[in-house]
Structure formats: structure tokens, C-alpha cells
Chains A and B, each alone.
Chain A
Amino acid sequence: MNARPFLAILVLLATLLPAAAPAQGFAGLGSEARGFALPEQRPLNFPADHGAHPDFRIEWWYLTAVLTGADGADYGAQWTLFRTALRPEAPGPQAQGWDSPQLWMGHAAVTSATDHLAAERLARGGVGQAGVTATPFAAWIDDWTMTSEAQPGTDGLSALRVSASDGAFGYSLRLTAEGPLVAQGEAGYSVKSAQGQASHYYSQPFYRVEGTLRLPQGEVAVTGQAWLDREWSSQPLGADQTGWDWFSLNFDDGARLMGFRLRDGGAGFTSATWIAPDGTPTTLPPGALRVTPLATTRVAGREVPVDWRLELPERGVDLRLAPLNPRAWMEVSVPYWEGPIRFSGSHSGRGYLEMTGYE
């Protein structure tokens, strides 16, 4: 009766887990990126790259915020907009109106130690229900928005207003960048496998946040830090890669660390970027980051590793990560785990953990 499960397959294939092998033959959605633009080594170009890249198959605007309430409690918030092209965009009017091949998916969530509230919105492109414009910067799906409040002459992402709401929860946050945009990988070209799959990838990890969360218990004023990831590609994963574990860490001393492990049948592929407090990124070689799951928790019928050890020997980093709420499961079309964490060990701080592909 309902379209959602099939949509889930579709989006799953197109965005997050192209390696879900059984479905590779799907209409125009094989693992090949035929007809789509491919990532290449080129400098990032702002503000154009803040906007959508409809020639690429997939793209996202991915914001996570670690927050502290006026009540002293830890919170996390997520605002994400995914874009998927069902097929390469034909030139001319075919790309407009209902015929547009673009599909959009929004996820919003609020996490506390006891609750994890998540919601999803779906839209097709071409009519304006969802979209992203570069100047002035605005990303939206339905009434969920991420809008630039930057002063003229400054980068569009330097100040943002982000809001989303669903029946049970909502939030409105004001974000101010306190550091520069950070190019991931080689000047924004991020390699995703030993075979050379890659994406365009940059971040703004230095947001200061103020705002309000609406929870079932009532409203709570919050402050904290946020991290925006921008990534687009046409074929981000190798055929044998089944999912990833992705970490964004804010060290108490002001440094940042982005790291991920792409899982495959063997040792997996890890990559990391060390970001100094002044925003200078250092791309670490594959394998420099070691991640080890320590304990799993059973959530939504799956065993998900929520406690981790992270080691980056060349920087003297050896961390233990623990989630604010181990049940931060996103029960959406493409289910995954996404929630705030705290870490201790050689260093301490807060961050976000995302885990996909746990069946």
C-alpha cells in the first residue's frame, strides 16, 4: 500500500549504500555512474559549491550539533538534507517541474540521554518543495530550513539559522562560524577506497550555537558547537564496502578531528583529517587512524557498536568514546545510528558518531 519501503531501497542505493549488491541492476541505479559527473581534483569554488551539484548523483548538507542545555544536560541535534538524482539531468525543460530527476530527503533529530526523536521529509525536485541555492545560501525541505544570515561580503555559511520541527520535537538554532571552511582530503578531493572512489568534501567544524530545543517535556535553551559537512559524488563507495563509521570530534583545546572507517569484508579503509584550532587541516594517510569497537548495544533489532577506542599514534591520541544515548537510532527510510558522544583518554571533548550499514 505504501511507497516508503521502495523509496527506502531507492535512496539507500543512490546515496548511502550503493554496495547493497542485490539491487544493483535497478533502473539506472547500477554501481556505475554512467552519465553523471565524476569527482576530479579541482579547487573548491565558493560560494557556488555551497549550492547543489545536480550533475552528480548524490549530495548532502549534514549538520550535527553538540549542545548543553540551560538545565545543564547534554543534548545533540541533527539537520540533514540529502539530494539524489534518479538519472542524469537532461538539458532543457525536462529537468524542470514534476519531470525533474532529483529527489530530496531531509532528516532531523534531537537526542538527550533519555530520548532520541527523529523525523524525515521526502520531496521531489523541480517544483520548489525542497532545494538549495548558493547565493544567498538557503537549503530547505518543506518547513525545515537552513538559511544564511551572513553579512554581505562574507561567506554565506559563516552565519546560519537552522530550524526543523515535527509533531513531538523541534528546534531553532543560530550558528556563527568561529573558524574557516576546511577542505577535506586533498584540497577537497576525498578518497573513499583503495580503488580510487572519491567525493568532493569540505566542512565547517567551527560553529558556535545558540538556540532552543522543543522537547516533549517542554522547551530548553541550549548553547554549544556544530559541525557542517558538505559532500557530493556520483559513486562514493566501492562495490564491496558495506557501510561506514564516521566520527567528528571537538577537542576541548579547540582542535578538531574528522575520521571514518569504510567497512568491507577485510580490514576496512580508514581516513582522517586533523584540524588545528586555527583551522589548518592535515590529511592523514589511510590507516593512520585506528578504530576499535569495544561494546555493542542492541537497538532496533541490530547489534550496533556504540563504545569505541580511537587511536592516532602519530598525534599521541588514544581515546575512549561513549554515546550520550546508545539508542540514537534513526528509524527512517534508510535507518542508521547518529548521535552525540563524549570522549576521554589522552584528550577529552565531545563529538558526533554516525554508523551506517548495520543490518
Chain B
Amino acid sequence: MRVAFGALLSHWRRHPLQLATLLLGLALATALWSGVQAINAEARASYDRAAGALTGGGLDRIVRGDGGSLTTDDFVALRRAGWPVSPLVEGRLAGSDLQLIGIEPLTLPREAALGPKGNGAALPDFLTPEGRLLVHPETAARLADTDLPPRIVDASLQPGTAVTDIALAARLLGMGRQITALILAPDAPPGDPGQVVPGLERRAASSGDLARLTDSFHLNLTAFGLLAFVVGLFIVHAAIGLAFEQRRPMLRTLRALGVSARALTALLLVEVVGLSLLAGVLGLALGYLVAAMLLPDVAATLRGLYGADVPGTLSLRPIWWLSGLGIAVAGALLAAGQGLWQAARLPLLALAQPRAWARASAARQRAMAVAGAALMAAAGVLVLTGGGLWAGFGVLATLLLGAALMLPAALAGLAALASRVFPGGAVSDWFWADTRQQLPGLSLALMALLLALAANIGVGTMVSSFRSTFTGWLDQRLASELYLTLRNEEEEASVSAWLAQRTEAILPIADAEVVLGGRPGEVYGVADHPTYRQNWPMLTALPSAWDDVAAGRGILANEQFFRSADLALGSQVALPGGALPVVGVYSDYGNPRPQVLIGTAAFEQRFPDVPVVRFGLRVDPTRAEALKADLQATFGLPASAMVDQSAIKALSLEIFERTFAVTAALNVLTLGVAAIAILSSLLTLAGLRLPQLAPLWAMGLTRRRLAGMELLRLLVLAALTWVLAVPLGLALAWVLLAVVNVEAFGWRLPMHVFPADWLRLGALAVLAAGLAALFPALRLARIAPTRLLKVFADER
């Protein structure tokens, strides 16, 4: 047994390159898959942390339904009714850019993740009349020379904010008995705070909203990881298949010497598992590198989205190691299945004649094409009849698999066509005929290339479409230069008067929570102003839409609501104060909730108690920054009360660029894996090719020329694969944009095509294939003539 195993393994000693290909292929596949998994897991863990790190971000809040402010009386009334609430006081410290957060440490829920910690002296000092400010080290340095209360450094806090006791914060901010927010401990029983204090409402934690946008990002990563793994399996399949092929005589000899078929299969199985474990460990190490390399970008994305600190370093989870190794072994076994099956059934007395392991008959190619066409048809049917996210993924899977199966037949057809279109004598005819002859052996690698290219085009198109749509949408939606939120109506009166001479327009924005189509949603009152008429991102609308809205005769619905409630233009939507018809639909990316717009007058009439404290300010863009500073200086408004348009845009775009950085990196890696698949297939075929090339050499074609033709063939095949990948990629993009996105997020993105990207990708594919083919071609060009001669000597 030992000897038999040694004999089996000796094969790898004699073919180190083959072993390297096998290990590298499997390791790369595992690396990409597990790397992406690590990033996703880390990112998801970060969402939770990030949400919790905000001011009670992950906790429900109690608010006044009419948007009014809360007082200590509300807090006490709720506590005395058994509600585990804790008050927060927030505001910008007048004359500075320091955001103060006042907490009440005795009632603060553990989960709010604020408050003094660390050394034991913190809390008593915190509660002294002098008080303490908890600040980030950066902030502490900035405040070094101020006469503010003593600082305690806490690196987990947001720079620019200071956490302090509610008494001190209320005194510094002049809040008196007013409270900014009441946060609710997570163990609070369900109930209606309105029964304690009329007008109070419970508001669910809102931290999950933005996370939904990032879901599509994770979807991309996962899809790439899976594709890379599948492509990697093609390599493994090729390498293991070759190994079985070349060891066929050895296996037969071993059987003849008395090793049972079962024992032999077991040995081969042990070999595959051993190799896959080795490659798996290697792959995990590589995957860790990949993830560590890409994670800072992901972390930056999260920081941008949440403004929360996310570690740029990976924490390793045992489940990650295990699943990575598991998938490596499972993948290798899958890829080796055919070889194992053949070895187990190897006829003892059959001639030990090598034959091309993957050589398939024309009949098999036809059968594959038929199966592929059937799968494509199934994809079409699914698109038309299926519903739901899983149908979307089903379409993706059937489409890709079907296309891959049809590839050899399609390439053969193209090659046949080419030989007729480019008639060029015997050598040319041979070239095309031989290309077709080669296809079965190369088809797996080319399928891998097709999938990699199609995925690149598809996901790339989706992401780019998303980017261009999103940027355009941002431009439209954020038409006002400055957005302002005030604390109460008194403040509103003085600020509005002050602003009147300093802005081109003050557009009030009022909002209220309502139930829309059975789900909690929001209604916005918007002013009748050209800012909206000219800029609002409408998908479809009646010509009179804005007039109807201004007159209170109609509403505009966001796309999510429009689609989920299955509305049409003219459909009546129930609202407080009577139903109104939908007169237009606008896109509203990133918002998971249903939303409608109505005119200001109609809003005031239907929601008379909601104070208007939010405004869009139209000013000369160059003056926005100065106005912001003026507002801050004059009214002591917190910086969080003012958001300027350029800041939002810059932030959003930065987030998207980061996302693309990760996508681009994965694109290159996937292509790299496909190139290795081609290399490994060519290495497999190289030995088998000699009997076909030797006659040509004998007829006078130089080795150089032969090698050149081999190289050219690969380039042509890669180019043809790319040509076929473009429509497949576009189909993929369409499914992602029009099916998966709608199901997953509720909005449909218009598809934008970027042909320049395809050309770049095509060039990259040809280059990758060329690089992969170069080494075998060079070997052929320098092959010893005796080996070619030997072909004739060996001929039977």
C-alpha cells in the first residue's frame, strides 16, 4: 500500500509544474472565495459596531409625534410609568465647533455605548459641578488651551464630539429643562408611550437604513468570490484530469500487481484530499492577504457611510478557517470526481494507451450545446414568470451555466465560419480545422474565461450604471446648497427672518410619519418652487404633476412605494385627511421606506401640529460655506443642523469610488485565475499535441512558425470568447439591474453601457490568454527535433 502510494506520488515529483498548477489553482480559488467571505463578515460585524457607536444609534427612541421638543417632565412621566428611557441633550457649543452630548449615566442603557469608562475615578468626577468632558485624543489636543471643563481622553469617541453629564451639557447649551432625545433600553417591553404622555411615539432604531445600500456591494463581492472559485475549479479539474490521464499506465500496472480497485481509489482519494488541504491552507493564507489588502477600502466605505470608526484590520474567525478548508476539499473532490470514477472502473486488461482525457466527440459537444440552450431558455422563462430574489439568482445561474455549455459549439461554429470567410490555402485551412479539433480540450478553460469576462462586464456594468445613476440623482435631489434643521419654531422665526435677505430662497421641508401601503413610511411637504420642478428626479409623471402637487390635488410617490404597492399613475393613496391620486414617481435610492410628497399647503392642513423646522436654502454655491459659518456664529446652531450639498455629494462619491476600487481589484484577480486555467489546460494538451504537430513539422513548417500558430490560435480563441462574453455580460447586467436590484432594494436602475470598458477588458483577456499561451509556445519553439521525430517512431 505504502509502495503503491509512493508510486502514485512519484508522478508529482516528475511533474512539478503540474503539481504547482494544481496547488496554485485550488489555492487561488480558495483565496478569492475566503477573502471575500472574510471581508463580508468583517463588514457586517462593523455595521453592528458602527450603528452602536452612534449616539444610542442602535436603540429605539421616544419622540413627540408632532416633532416638538421633549422636556424632563416627559422623561420623568415615562420613567414613573416603568419605561426604561434615558435622556440625551445634544447641541453645538456656542463659539466652538464642539458637539456636546449630555448623558444621564444612571439611567443610560449599557447598549448606548457612551459614558465614562476605564479608570475608576471617572464617574464621581463626571458628576461633580465642575464636570468632565470625554473626548477623542484629537479633540483633547485641539481643546488644550480652552477653559472648558477638564478633559478625559477616550479614543472610541468621534472626533469633534464631547460626552459629558447631562447637567453640565444642559448648562453649557442653555437647554434648561429641554431634552434632545429619549433613548429606550433594548429590554423595554412593547407598548405605546402615547398612553403615558399623549403625543409621544416610539420610533424604531434607524441605523439599518443605510446598511441596505451596502447590501448590493456585498452582493457584488459574494458573486465575484463564487465565480472565482468556480473558475478555480476548472483549473483543478484540468490538472487532476491530466494527472489521471498520465498515470493511466501506472494505475493499470498497480492493479495488475494486485492492488484492488477499491484500495487504489482510496489512495487517490487520500491524495486529492491531502493536496486540497495543502492548497486550502495556502489559499487561506492568500485569502487573508487579499482581504487584508481590500479591507481598508471597505472600512473606508463604512466610515463614509456611518461616520463611525471601523477597524481596518481583520479579526480571524474559526468558522472562516473551517469553511475555507471545507470548500477547498469539497471543490477538489468535485473537480476530481471524473478522474476518480474512471480510476475505480479502470479495465484491468485494457491497453494502457494514453488518450486525450477530455477529448469529446462532436456528439458530446452537441449534447452540451443543447443542454446549454435549454438552460438559456429556462433563464428566459424564469425572467418572464419567476418572482422574488431567488428567481433572480436562478436566472443568473442558468444563464451563466447555459452560456458556458454552449461555448464550445459556438466557438466551433465561429471557427468554421472563419475558415470560409478567410480562405488562405492549406495551412490556413489546417489552422481553423485544428482549432476546432482543439476545442474540446480547451473548452473548460475557455468556459472559465467566458465566465470571468461575462462577470466582469456584467458586474462592471451594474456598478457603473449605479454610479452614474446615483451621481445624477444626487445632483438632482440635492438641489439646495444648504440644508438646515432647527430645534423649534421660536428658533425658526428668528433664523428665517435673518436668512430672508441672505438667501435666494428658503424652501421649507416638513415631514411626518404615516402608514403607506401598510408599512411605516413618511410624507414630505414641499414648496412649489422651480428648484423642485426643474431638478426633482422623476421617473414618470403626468404633465400637470407639479401643479397638482402644489394645489393639493395629487402626490408624488417614491419608486419603492410605487413598485411595492403596485400603484399606477392615478392610483389613490390613503393619507390622513383623505386619499390623493399619484401624479408622479421619483427615484429615491438608498431609502428603504415608502415615501410621498405633497404640497406645503396640503401638508399644513393635514398635519397642523407638525412644526416646520427643516429648510433647503438656495444660495450662491460659493457663499454656502460662509453662510454656514455665519449661522453657526449667530445662532449657535450645532454643525449637525446644517449639511451643505457639496459635503454630502463629496462623501457619497467617495464612498462609491471606494466600492469600485474593490470591484476593480477583484476583476483583475478573477481574470488572473482564468489565465491560469488556460495555462494549465495548455500544459495538459502540450504533450498530447505532438503527434498532430509532428507531421506539419515534417512537411516543412518550422517549429517557430508552429509555435506562432499555437499562440495565435489562443489569441483568436480568447478574442472570440470575449466577443461572446459581451452579450452574455450585458444580459447578466440586465438581470442584476432589472431583476435582482428590484427584488432586493425596490428600485430599478437604468442600464448604462460603457463600450470602452469592454474594449479594455477584451485587450486584457487577449493579453492574459497570450501570456498563458506564451510558455507552452516557447517550449514548442525550442523543442528538440528528436522529440518530434520520435512521434513517428512511436507511431503504431
Given contact pairs A9-B120, A26-B124, A3 touches B105 in the complex (Cβ within 8 A): yes
Within the complex, which residue of A1, A7, A99, A122 is in contact with B113, where a contact is CB–CB below 8 Å? A1
Interface contact B122-A6, CB-CB below 8 Å: yes
Interface contact A124-B104, CB-CB below 8 Å: yes
Interface contact B115-A2, CB-CB below 8 Å: yes
Residues of B within 8 A of A4 (CB): 110
SS class of chain B's interface: helix, strand, loop or mixed?
Answer: loop
Interface contact B123-A143, CB-CB below 8 Å: no
Indicate whether B773 reaches chain A with its CB closer than 8 angstroms.
Answer: no
**Complex alpha-carbon distance, A71 and B80, angstroms:** 32
Interface contact B76-A128, CB-CB below 8 Å: yes
> From B89, which residue of chain A is reached at the shortest CB distance?
A98
**Complex alpha-carbon distance, A273 and B419, angstroms:** 117
Instruction: Quote the shortest CB–CB distance from B169 to chain A (angstroms).
Output: 9
Indicate whether B420 reaches chain A with its CB closer than 8 angstroms.
Answer: no
Interface residues on B, range: 35 or more
**Complex alpha-carbon distance, A122 and B185, angstroms:** 14
Residues of A within 8 A of B117 (CB): 1-3
> From A2, which residue of chain B is reached at the shortest CB distance?
B110
Interface contact B124-A98, CB-CB below 8 Å: no
Per-position 1/0 for B118-133, Cβ under 8 A of A: 0011111101110000
Residues of A within 8 A of B122 (CB): 6
B contact set with A: CB distance below 8 Å: 72-73, 75-76, 79-82, 104-108, 110, 113, 115-117, 120-125, 127-129, 165-167, 170-171, 176-177, 187
The size of the chain A interface, using a CB distance under 8 A, is 31
CB contacts under 8 Å to B, within A164-198, are: 165, 167
Q: Which 5 pairs show the lowest CB-CB distances between chains A and B?
A: A6-B123, A98-B167, A143-B82, A3-B105, A122-B106
Instruction: Quote the shortest CB–CB distance from A161 to chain B (angstroms).
Output: 15
**Can you list 20 pairs linking A and B with CB atoms under 8 Å apart?**
A2-B115, A2-B117, A3-B105, A3-B117, A6-B124, A7-B105, A7-B106, A7-B123, A9-B123, A10-B124, A27-B125, A86-B127, A87-B129, A98-B72, A98-B170, A128-B72, A129-B79, A129-B107, A143-B81, A143-B82
Interface contact A97-B106, CB-CB below 8 Å: no
Indicate whether A20 reaches chain B with its CB closer than 8 angstroms.
Answer: no
Indicate whether A285 reaches chain B with its CB closer than 8 angstroms.
Answer: no
Interface contact B110-A103, CB-CB below 8 Å: no
Residues of A within 8 A of B116 (CB): 3, 6
Interface contact A127-B76, CB-CB below 8 Å: yes
Indicate whether A207 reaches chain B with its CB closer than 8 angstroms.
Answer: no
**Complex alpha-carbon distance, A143 and B171, angstroms:** 28
Interface contact B123-A3, CB-CB below 8 Å: yes
Interface contact B124-A123, CB-CB below 8 Å: no
Within the complex, which residue of A28, A99, A122 is in contact with B107, where a contact is CB–CB below 8 Å? A122
**Complex alpha-carbon distance, A129 and B73, angstroms:** 9
> From A127, which residue of chain B is reached at the shortest CB distance?
B72
Instruction: Quote the shortest CB–CB distance from B620 to chain A (angstroms).
Output: 43
**Complex alpha-carbon distance, A273 and B176, angstroms:** 48
Residues of B within 8 A of A124 (CB): 104, 106
Given contact pairs A28-B128, A99-B167, A3 touches B108 in the complex (Cβ within 8 A): yes
Given contact pairs A99-B129, A99-B167, A3 touches B106 in the complex (Cβ within 8 A): yes
Interface contact A142-B105, CB-CB below 8 Å: no
CB contacts under 8 Å to B, within A105-146, are: 122-124, 127-129, 140, 142-143
Given contact pairs A1-B117, A6-B123, A26-B124, A123 touches B79 in the complex (Cβ within 8 A): yes
Instruction: Quote the shortest CB–CB distance from A57 to chain B (angstroms).
Output: 14
**Complex alpha-carbon distance, A128 and B107, angstroms:** 14
Interface contact A129-B120, CB-CB below 8 Å: no
Interface contact B167-A97, CB-CB below 8 Å: yes
